Protein backbone atom coordinates (compact mmCIF):
# COMPACT_ATOMS: atom_id res chain seq x y z
CA UNK A 1 0.00 0.00 0.00
CA UNK A 2 1.49 3.32 -1.12
CA UNK A 3 -1.17 5.99 -0.51
CA UNK A 4 -3.72 6.52 2.26
CA UNK A 5 -6.41 9.18 2.44
CA UNK A 6 -7.76 9.62 5.96
CA UNK A 7 -10.32 11.72 7.83
CA UNK A 8 -9.24 13.95 10.75
CA UNK A 9 -12.46 14.49 12.71
CA UNK A 10 -13.17 17.47 14.97
CA UNK A 11 -14.17 17.25 18.63
CA UNK A 12 -16.22 19.44 20.92
CA UNK A 13 -16.05 19.52 24.71
CA UNK A 14 -19.59 18.83 25.96
CA UNK A 15 -18.45 20.26 29.31
CA UNK A 16 -15.10 21.32 30.76
CA UNK A 17 -14.04 21.66 34.40
CA UNK A 18 -10.62 22.66 35.65
CA UNK A 19 -9.88 20.72 38.79
CA UNK A 20 -6.27 21.67 39.56
CA UNK A 21 -2.83 22.54 38.32
CA UNK A 22 0.19 20.24 38.05
CA UNK A 23 3.68 21.33 39.14
CA UNK A 24 4.64 21.70 35.43
CA UNK A 25 1.89 24.33 34.97
CA UNK A 26 -0.51 22.12 32.97
CA UNK A 27 -4.08 22.11 34.26
CA UNK A 28 -5.94 19.02 35.36
CA UNK A 29 -9.38 18.87 33.91
CA UNK A 30 -12.51 16.87 33.43
CA UNK A 31 -14.21 16.91 30.10
CA UNK A 32 -16.34 14.91 27.71
CA UNK A 33 -14.77 14.78 24.27
CA UNK A 34 -17.52 14.35 21.70
CA UNK A 35 -16.15 13.29 18.30
CA UNK A 36 -17.80 14.73 15.19
CA UNK A 37 -18.26 13.27 11.74
CA UNK A 38 -16.65 16.32 10.11
CA UNK A 39 -13.06 17.41 9.71
CA UNK A 40 -9.89 17.72 7.66
CA UNK A 41 -8.51 15.19 5.19
CA UNK A 42 -4.94 13.90 5.27
CA UNK A 43 -3.38 12.11 2.32
CA UNK A 44 -0.15 10.21 2.92
CA UNK A 45 2.04 8.85 0.14
CA UNK A 46 4.94 6.54 0.88
CA UNK A 47 8.39 7.70 -0.25
CA UNK A 48 11.34 5.38 -0.69
CA UNK A 49 13.74 7.90 0.84
CA UNK A 50 13.56 9.39 4.35
CA UNK A 51 12.08 12.78 3.34
CA UNK A 52 8.94 14.17 4.97
CA UNK A 53 7.41 16.69 2.56
CA UNK A 54 4.31 18.75 3.32
CA UNK A 55 2.72 19.55 -0.04
CA UNK A 56 0.08 21.95 1.33
CA UNK A 57 1.30 24.92 3.37
CA UNK A 58 -0.90 26.16 6.20
CA UNK A 59 -1.10 29.95 6.38
CA UNK A 60 0.76 31.26 9.44
CA UNK A 61 2.29 27.89 10.36
CA UNK A 62 5.83 26.89 9.30
CA UNK A 63 5.90 23.43 7.74
CA UNK A 64 8.25 22.10 10.42
CA UNK A 65 5.80 23.36 13.11
CA UNK A 66 2.79 21.78 11.45
CA UNK A 67 1.56 19.05 13.78
CA UNK A 68 1.39 16.49 10.96
CA UNK A 69 5.09 17.01 10.18
CA UNK A 70 5.97 16.91 13.89
CA UNK A 71 3.98 13.69 14.24
CA UNK A 72 5.72 12.17 11.21
CA UNK A 73 9.18 13.05 12.57
CA UNK A 74 8.41 11.54 15.96
CA UNK A 75 7.23 8.34 14.32
CA UNK A 76 10.21 8.24 11.98
CA UNK A 77 12.42 8.16 15.08
CA UNK A 78 10.65 4.89 16.08
CA UNK A 79 11.33 3.26 12.73
CA UNK A 80 14.12 0.75 12.26
CA UNK A 81 13.89 0.97 8.47
CA UNK A 82 15.83 3.54 6.48
CA UNK A 83 13.22 4.08 3.75
CA UNK A 84 10.44 5.72 5.76
CA UNK A 85 9.44 8.95 4.14
CA UNK A 86 6.16 10.51 3.03
CA UNK A 87 4.56 13.18 0.90
CA UNK A 88 1.76 14.70 2.98
CA UNK A 89 -1.23 16.61 1.68
CA UNK A 90 -3.45 18.25 4.32
CA UNK A 91 -6.83 19.61 3.22
CA UNK A 92 -8.10 21.84 6.04
CA UNK A 93 -11.77 22.42 6.71
CA UNK A 94 -11.45 23.02 10.45
CA UNK A 95 -10.66 26.58 11.58
CA UNK A 96 -7.32 27.01 13.39
CA UNK A 97 -7.42 27.68 17.12
CA UNK A 98 -11.12 26.95 17.31
CA UNK A 99 -11.18 24.61 20.32
CA UNK A 100 -12.32 21.82 18.02
CA UNK A 101 -8.97 20.02 17.98
CA UNK A 102 -8.11 20.35 14.29
CA UNK A 103 -4.35 20.29 14.66
CA UNK A 104 -4.48 17.51 17.25
CA UNK A 105 -6.71 15.39 15.03
CA UNK A 106 -4.43 15.96 12.02
CA UNK A 107 -1.52 14.76 14.17
CA UNK A 108 -3.40 11.64 15.29
CA UNK A 109 -4.33 10.75 11.70
CA UNK A 110 -0.66 11.17 10.70
CA UNK A 111 0.44 8.87 13.55
CA UNK A 112 -2.06 6.11 12.74
CA UNK A 113 -1.71 6.47 8.98
CA UNK A 114 2.09 6.43 8.89
CA UNK A 115 2.18 3.56 11.40
CA UNK A 116 0.23 1.60 8.80
CA UNK A 117 2.01 2.92 5.69
CA UNK A 118 5.46 2.28 7.17
CA UNK A 119 4.35 -1.04 8.72
CA UNK A 120 5.70 -0.08 12.14
CA UNK A 121 3.18 -2.19 14.06
CA UNK A 122 3.00 0.25 17.01
CA UNK A 123 0.03 -0.21 19.37
CA UNK A 124 -2.62 2.45 20.02
CA UNK A 125 -1.17 2.77 23.56
CA UNK A 126 2.25 3.67 22.16
CA UNK A 127 0.78 6.03 19.56
CA UNK A 128 -1.30 7.76 22.28
CA UNK A 129 1.88 8.25 24.34
CA UNK A 130 3.71 9.74 21.36
CA UNK A 131 0.62 11.88 20.64
CA UNK A 132 0.53 13.28 24.16
CA UNK A 133 4.00 14.76 23.57
CA UNK A 134 2.44 16.75 20.71
CA UNK A 135 -0.62 18.02 22.58
CA UNK A 136 -3.04 17.21 25.39
CA UNK A 137 -5.86 16.64 22.90
CA UNK A 138 -4.05 14.16 20.65
CA UNK A 139 -4.67 10.91 22.63
CA UNK A 140 -8.47 11.02 22.28
CA UNK A 141 -8.11 11.18 18.50
CA UNK A 142 -5.59 8.31 18.56
CA UNK A 143 -7.98 6.13 20.57
CA UNK A 144 -10.94 7.15 18.45
CA UNK A 145 -13.85 7.05 20.85
CA UNK A 146 -16.08 9.73 22.34
CA UNK A 147 -14.74 9.71 25.89
CA UNK A 148 -14.88 11.03 29.40
CA UNK A 149 -11.42 12.49 30.08
CA UNK A 150 -9.40 13.38 33.15
CA UNK A 151 -5.75 14.22 33.87
CA UNK A 152 -4.78 16.74 31.19
CA UNK A 153 -7.08 14.94 28.78
CA UNK A 154 -5.09 11.70 28.43
CA UNK A 155 -6.95 9.53 30.96
CA UNK A 156 -9.80 8.38 28.77
CA UNK A 157 -12.87 6.29 29.34
CA UNK A 158 -15.15 5.71 26.31
CA UNK A 159 -18.69 6.94 26.93
CA UNK A 160 -21.58 6.39 24.52
CA UNK A 161 -23.56 9.58 23.92
CA UNK A 162 -26.69 10.16 21.81
CA UNK A 163 -25.46 10.85 18.26
CA UNK A 164 -27.03 14.31 18.00
CA UNK A 165 -26.56 16.94 15.31
CA UNK A 166 -24.43 19.93 16.22
CA UNK A 167 -24.21 23.46 14.87
CA UNK A 168 -20.65 24.69 15.42
CA UNK A 169 -19.90 28.35 14.72
CA UNK A 170 -16.69 30.32 14.91
CA UNK A 171 -16.81 34.03 15.57
CA UNK A 172 -14.15 36.06 13.79
CA UNK A 173 -11.48 35.85 16.49
CA UNK A 174 -8.66 33.55 17.59
CA UNK A 175 -8.22 32.34 21.18
CA UNK A 176 -4.85 31.06 22.35
CA UNK A 177 -5.28 28.08 24.71
CA UNK A 178 -2.09 29.11 26.54
CA UNK A 179 -3.41 32.67 27.06
CA UNK A 180 -6.57 31.41 28.75
CA UNK A 181 -4.75 28.89 30.94
CA UNK A 182 -2.26 31.57 32.06
CA UNK A 183 -4.96 34.13 32.90
CA UNK A 184 -5.21 35.14 36.55
CA UNK A 185 -9.00 35.26 36.42
CA UNK A 186 -9.41 31.65 35.23
CA UNK A 187 -11.39 29.46 37.64
CA UNK A 188 -8.93 26.72 38.57
CA UNK A 189 -10.48 24.81 41.43
CA UNK A 190 -13.71 23.22 40.28
CA UNK A 191 -14.90 20.24 42.31
CA UNK A 192 -14.72 17.08 40.21
CA UNK A 193 -18.10 15.76 39.08
CA UNK A 194 -19.44 12.25 38.44
CA UNK A 195 -20.62 11.08 35.02
CA UNK A 196 -24.19 10.93 36.40
CA UNK A 197 -24.03 14.64 37.31
CA UNK A 198 -23.11 15.53 33.74
CA UNK A 199 -25.87 13.31 32.37
CA UNK A 200 -28.30 15.10 34.73
CA UNK A 201 -27.62 18.30 32.76
CA UNK A 202 -26.52 21.84 33.38
CA UNK A 203 -22.74 21.30 33.46
CA UNK A 204 -20.89 23.98 31.52
CA UNK A 205 -17.42 25.08 30.52
CA UNK A 206 -15.33 26.75 33.24
CA UNK A 207 -13.38 28.80 30.68
CA UNK A 208 -16.57 30.31 29.28
CA UNK A 209 -17.10 33.29 31.66
CA UNK A 210 -13.50 34.49 31.16
CA UNK A 211 -13.50 33.90 27.39
CA UNK A 212 -16.85 35.74 27.03
CA UNK A 213 -15.40 38.69 28.92
CA UNK A 214 -12.16 38.81 26.91
CA UNK A 215 -13.79 38.19 23.51
CA UNK A 216 -17.08 40.11 23.03
CA UNK A 217 -17.54 38.42 19.61
CA UNK A 218 -17.73 35.03 21.35
CA UNK A 219 -20.21 36.40 23.87
CA UNK A 220 -22.33 37.68 20.96
CA UNK A 221 -22.16 34.34 19.14
CA UNK A 222 -23.32 32.48 22.26
CA UNK A 223 -26.25 34.87 22.70
CA UNK A 224 -27.20 34.39 19.03
CA UNK A 225 -27.07 30.57 19.16
CA UNK A 226 -28.93 30.46 22.50
CA UNK A 227 -32.06 31.61 20.63
CA UNK A 228 -32.32 28.13 19.15
CA UNK A 229 -30.87 25.73 21.72
CA UNK A 230 -28.61 25.87 24.83
CA UNK A 231 -25.17 26.95 23.59
CA UNK A 232 -21.69 26.35 25.00
CA UNK A 233 -18.05 27.18 24.36
CA UNK A 234 -15.84 24.26 23.24
CA UNK A 235 -12.39 23.99 24.83
CA UNK A 236 -10.94 27.45 25.24
CA UNK A 237 -12.85 28.65 22.15
CA UNK A 238 -13.28 30.35 19.80
CA UNK A 239 -16.01 27.96 18.55
CA UNK A 240 -19.38 27.64 20.24
CA UNK A 241 -21.94 24.91 19.63
CA UNK A 242 -25.50 23.74 20.27
CA UNK A 243 -27.18 20.37 19.70
CA UNK A 244 -30.28 19.47 17.71
CA UNK A 245 -32.26 16.25 17.28
CA UNK A 246 -32.18 16.27 13.48
CA UNK A 247 -29.98 17.40 10.61
CA UNK A 248 -32.54 19.64 8.88
CA UNK A 249 -33.17 21.77 11.97
CA UNK A 250 -29.42 22.08 12.57
CA UNK A 251 -28.83 23.10 8.95
CA UNK A 252 -31.64 25.66 9.03
CA UNK A 253 -30.13 27.28 12.13
CA UNK A 254 -26.59 27.23 10.71
CA UNK A 255 -27.70 28.90 7.48
CA UNK A 256 -29.17 31.84 9.43
CA UNK A 257 -25.88 32.68 11.16
CA UNK A 258 -24.52 36.23 10.82
CA UNK A 259 -22.32 36.87 7.74
CA UNK A 260 -19.07 37.31 9.65
CA UNK A 261 -19.33 33.90 11.35
CA UNK A 262 -18.05 30.61 9.88
CA UNK A 263 -20.02 27.53 10.73
CA UNK A 264 -20.82 23.92 9.96
CA UNK A 265 -23.23 21.17 10.88
CA UNK A 266 -21.90 17.81 12.03
CA UNK A 267 -23.18 14.65 13.57
CA UNK A 268 -21.80 13.55 16.95
CA UNK A 269 -20.31 10.06 16.65
CA UNK A 270 -19.17 7.55 19.25
CA UNK A 271 -16.56 6.03 16.93
CA UNK A 272 -14.01 8.04 14.99
CA UNK A 273 -14.32 8.11 11.19
CA UNK A 274 -10.52 7.67 11.17
CA UNK A 275 -10.74 4.31 12.90
CA UNK A 276 -13.59 3.25 10.65
CA UNK A 277 -11.48 4.16 7.60
CA UNK A 278 -8.57 2.11 8.95
CA UNK A 279 -10.82 -0.80 9.96
CA UNK A 280 -9.65 -0.52 13.57
CA UNK A 281 -12.92 -0.53 15.53
Ligand X SMILES: C[C@@](CO)(OP(=O)(O)O)[C@H](O)COP(=O)(O)OP(=O)(O)OC[C@H]1O[C@@H](n2ccc(N)nc2=O)[C@H](O)[C@@H]1O
* Catalytic residue numbers, as ranges: 11, 137
Is position 148 an interface residue for ligand X (rule: CB under 6 A)?
no
Give the x-and-dash track for 90-129 against ligand ADP (CB under 6 A).
Answer: x-----xxxxxxxxx-x-----------------------
d(CA 101, CA 231): 18
Footprint on residues 173-212 left by ligand X (CB under 6 A): 177-178, 181
208 binds, among ligand X, ligand ADP, none (CB under 5 to 8 A by kind): none
| Residue with the shortest CB distance to ligand ADP | 103
Tell me the closest approach of the beta carbon of residue 153 to ligand X, in angstroms. Answer: 4
Is position 85 an interface residue for ligand X (rule: CB under 6 A)?
no
Nearest to 16 by CA among 130, 126, 181: 181
Tell me the closest approach of the beta carbon of residue 28 to ligand ADP, in angstroms. Answer: 18
b/e sequence 34-71, b meaning 16+ C-beta within 10 Å: bbbbbbbebbbbbbeeeebebeeebeeeeeeebbbbbb
Nearest to 5 by CA among 131, 115, 138, 113: 113
d(CA 156, CA 209): 26
Binding site for ligand X (CB under 6 A): 13, 25-27, 29, 31, 99, 101, 104, 135-137, 152-153, 177-178, 181, 235-236
Q: What residues make contact with ligand ADP under the rule CB under 6 A?
A: 58, 61, 65-68, 90, 96-104, 106, 177, 235
Amino acid sequence: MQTLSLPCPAKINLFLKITGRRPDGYHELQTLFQLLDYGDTLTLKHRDDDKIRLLSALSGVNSEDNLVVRAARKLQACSKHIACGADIQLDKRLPLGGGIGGGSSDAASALLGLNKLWQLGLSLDTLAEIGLELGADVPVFVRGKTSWAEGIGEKLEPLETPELWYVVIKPDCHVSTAEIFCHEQLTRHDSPIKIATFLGGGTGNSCEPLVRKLYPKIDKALIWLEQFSPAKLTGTGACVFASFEDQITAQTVCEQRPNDIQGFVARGVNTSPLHRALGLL
